Structure 1
């Protein structure tokens, strides 16, 4: 990609799950290279935005635009083939395969993943399904790193990780030559003061858009929490 600017965007996007509308005309743009953060509590629509961008849920209205091209009707596997990588919150690894096999599926050489997360080296012979939540997140993100994707979409990237590993994870994501979109319940402390685009969602609508620096730092404990959004 060589640092070429790009944008992945939603334009007046609507998504329905049966009779319920999860996104109510959401418009946002994720520039790359760089990080865009989708903030929101459970049920806010942040996970649905990721799925809409990836093509794993259809829009009932609006459009998905990638580098100026309307890809609304392009299926998820075609978006993946063109360099989009989605790391969901759950079932992001092949639990019945070993860590080594999971990494080998992403790339023939996985030294880059072990450099990123040295903790995985001792876990290579283990089945991925037996890993802790934080270890599975490291493995899932390692596979995304190996894919060298143009767009990386990650739901709850640091869930279950220690603060040190979480900070390392955001350093890795910030260093990618890709458009990176992450969904979080709160702005990660490591991003305060950094350049990052932020959209806050509430009940399927955007209630704030701006830079991370515009948000006040958290005053209390800030921890990751389970649960879809």
Structure 2
């Protein structure tokens, strides 16, 4: 579905990501993990169109989308859950969803919004509350809901667990895993590799702006770099 091949992405003349090749297939959940500065968020910015590729290619279902603006990529079915949530704090939960729904199909808006409330019942009870007054976990639910109400085909999540208590991000992780089981493609950027491996079936380890390891979850669990840096000795079968 989505493929970056030999991609170079950066900020002006400064290149952060080098010769990056990754892919996400239809109905597949894939993660990117790596230390701060590895190029994870820059990669996402390249995917959604905020940072242009200076070389290499990005394709969607085999068609080059490197010249498309962010809103055009959103229309193709790529939706972002940004790092830090970035909800509209002065708007209500319902209004946040209504604004996001405009990026999706023009039909069934009310039905799509009610579908988000069905998925996240805690938001349903707060539909008239200002988003800025929600807890961090509720804001992350709303951020995911804003992406889902667009009816995407690929959900791109930047740091799902950032700033959240373990019990909350584990609940959200189960929600995302359910979306993947239902057939939605997911690309998850995470520093919490254990969480990422519970959600996804395949992944990449980035370091210095390039891929240094890739494989299925079971394959990556056997790699010493993953065990020592991210998994606390977690081995195959755990």
Q: What's the TM-score, normalizing by structure 2?
A: 0.81
The answer to whether 1:141 aligns with 2:135 is no
CA distance in 1 between counterparts of 2:161 and 2:148 reads 15
1:10 match: 4
The answer to whether 1:163 aligns with 2:166 is yes
- Is contact 1:38-1:200 (8 Å) kept? yes
CA distance in 2 between counterparts of 1:157 and 1:91 reads 9
CA distance in 1 between counterparts of 2:14 and 2:200 reads 35
2:27 match: 33
1:48 match: 42
1:215 match: 220
- In the TM superposition, what is the alpha-carbon distance from 1:11 to its structure 2 partner? 0.7
How do 1:73-84 residues align onto structure 2 when only pairs under 5 Å count?
Answer: 73-84=67-78
Q: Which of 167, 172, 175 lines up with 2:175 in the alignment?
A: 172
> How many residues were matched structurally?
213
**Structure 1 residue ranges without an equivalent (≥5):** 1-6, 221-229
CA distance in 1 between counterparts of 2:119 and 2:169 reads 12
Q: Deviations along 1:126-170, whole A, 9 cap, x unmatched?
A: 211232322211100012222220111110123334434433323
1:198 match: 203
How do 1:96-107 residues align onto structure 2 when only pairs under 5 Å count?
Answer: 96-105=90-99, 106=101, 107=109
Distance change in 2, residues 1:164/1:115 (3 Å): farther
Distance change in 2, residues 1:161/1:90 (3 Å): closer
Distance change in 2, residues 1:188/1:99 (3 Å): farther
User: Residue 203 of structure 2 aligns to a residue in which SS?
Assistant: strand
**RMSD of aligned C-alpha atoms?**
2.1
Distance change in 2, residues 1:132/1:168 (3 Å): closer
- Is contact 2:11-2:51 (8 Å) kept? no
